[in-house]
Amino acid sequence: MTYLPQLKTLTLLSIATLIASPAMAQNEPARESVAYVGISVASFSEYLGSDDQETRVLPYLSINDFKGFDLFGPNLTYRLIEVGTGKGLDKWSLEAGPKVSFQGGRDSDESPNLIGFEDIGGSLPLGGYIKSTIGPVGLGVTAGQDIIKGHSGFTADASVGTFYKAGNFAIQPSLSVSWADGRHNESFFGVTNAQSSTSPLAAYDIGSGIYAYSASVVSWIDIQDKYALALIATYREFTGDAKDSPILRADDGSTNGASVIVSLSRKFDLSRF
């Protein structure tokens, strides 16, 4: 493998972080500096556009507001700008800053249709994010350029969502759209003439454009103020030229995909550090 399997799996958590900043249906409590450490079970596609599902048990870690840093899955952000009246029905907020994340790649031995293809290593998109809440609606945009020569491309995501909390239960649904440049799309959806000559797939050229729409939901229950049981579920539908890719149209490919992650974690107070 060209990257750690754990990192490949954790990239699915990044889907959830593309959600717009949660807009509260009630006043948001004071921000806490905490970490959640535990274990998760994840089911996900073997690679982008694969019809084969894989299930793994993995460690879970998230950090909220440690000196301005937030960590969720493979996504690390820093709040450089934070303004507004707060989060709630009659409030607004704006937040922005740098962001770095890890995105998994693809190995040619994951499908007999990828014979002769080069492996796509893990990518590290470096860029930024901006998100805002206006009453009960949250909007967000993230973008980044791969800096470690995985897919070597530039990606961007825009999303809209909302947030509701009642007692110890919270839920955050969202919709998002994903765009990428030609280097990213060619890596995952394109087939060169050389690759076509060694595999059953026809040659296919693809440029930049929107490649997927996603619907996600993140929900969790606080247990005795020390533990949290969380669910992250995402459905993704490929679109545009990506949907017509021979890789997705192959017998083991798919023009849609779903992932489900369930985690149980313990909460740790970081305010004293």
* 272 assigned to some structural domain: no
pTM of the predicted structure, to 2 decimals: 0.88
DSSP 68: T
Task: Tell me what percent of the residues of the chain surpass a pLDDT of 70.
Answer: 89
Q: What is the pLDDT of residues 156-187, one digit of tens each?
A: 999 999 999 999 999 999 999 999 999 999 99
What pLDDT, on the 0 to 100 scale, is given for residue 58? Answer: 94
* 119 assigned to some structural domain: yes
* 270 assigned to some structural domain: no
- What's at 137, amino acid-wise? V
pLDDT higher than threshold 80 for residue 29 = no
* 82 assigned to some structural domain: yes
Could you give the C-alpha distances from 165 to 18, 63, 168, in angstroms and in order? 20, 20, 7
- Three-state secondary structure call for residue 4: coil
Q: How many domains does the chain have?
A: 1
pLDDT higher than threshold 50 for residue 26 = no
Mean predicted confidence (pLDDT) in 77-100: 95
173-202 core/surface letters (b: 16 or more CB in 10 A; e: else): bbebbbbbbebbbbbbbbbeeebeeebebe
Mean predicted confidence (pLDDT) in 141-147: 98
What pLDDT, on the 0 to 100 scale, is given for residue 31? Answer: 73
Q: What is the pLDDT of residues 108-134, one digit of tens each?
A: 999 999 999 999 999 999 999 999 999
| Residues constituting the chain | 273
DSSP 250: S
d(CA 256, CA 123): 22
- Three-state secondary structure call for residue 6: helix
Domain that residue 202 falls in: 5-264
What pLDDT, on the 0 to 100 scale, is given for residue 52? Answer: 96
* 269 assigned to some structural domain: no
**Predicted confidence band at 88 (pLDDT cuts at 50, 70, 90)?**
confident
* 30 assigned to some structural domain: yes
* 271 assigned to some structural domain: no
pLDDT higher than threshold 90 for residue 154 = yes
* 108 assigned to some structural domain: yes
Mean predicted confidence (pLDDT) in 81-95: 93
pLDDT higher than threshold 80 for residue 14 = no
